[in-house]
Structure 1
Amino acid sequence: MEGIVNMAVTNASAVVEFILLGFADLPNYQGFLFGIFLLIYMSILVGNGLIILITNVNSTLQTPMYFFLRHFSFLEICYTSVVFPRMFKNLLTQKRNISFLACAIQLCFFLILGGTECFLLAVMAYDRYIAICYPLNYPLIMNRKICVCLVTGSWISAIPIPIGQTFNIFSLPFCNSKSLNHVFCDIPPLLKLACGDTKVNELYSYAGAFLSAIVPFLMILLSYIKIITTIQKLPSAIGRHKAFSTCSSHLIVVSLFFGSGIISYFLPNSIKPAGVDKILSLMYSSVTPMLNPLIYSLRNKDVIVALKKLQPR
Structure 2
Amino acid sequence: MATDVAPIRPEERFDEARVAAYLRAHLGDLIGGSAISFAQFPGGRANLTYLVRAGDLELVLRRPPLGPVAPGGHDMAREHAVLSVLHEAYPQAPRAFLLCTDPEVMGAPFFVMERCQGTVVRETWPSRLPADEGFRRRLAANVVDALAALHRVDYRAVGLERLGRPGGFVARQVAGWVDRWDRAKQRELPAMEDLGRWLAGAVPSPQAAVLLHNDFKLDNLMISDRAEVVAVFDWDMATIGDPLVDLGTFLAYSPRPQEALHVLQGDSGTALSTVMSREEMVERYTAATGFDTGGMDYYLAFAMYRTAVILQQIYIRYRRGQTSDERFGPLGDLVPQVADEAWRLVGG
Tell whether the structures are fold-level matches, with TM greater than 0.5. no
More strand, by proportion: 2
Larger Rg belongs to: 1
The two structures have a TM-score, normalised by structure 1, of 0.25
More helix, by proportion: 1
The two structures have a TM-score, normalised by structure 2, of 0.23
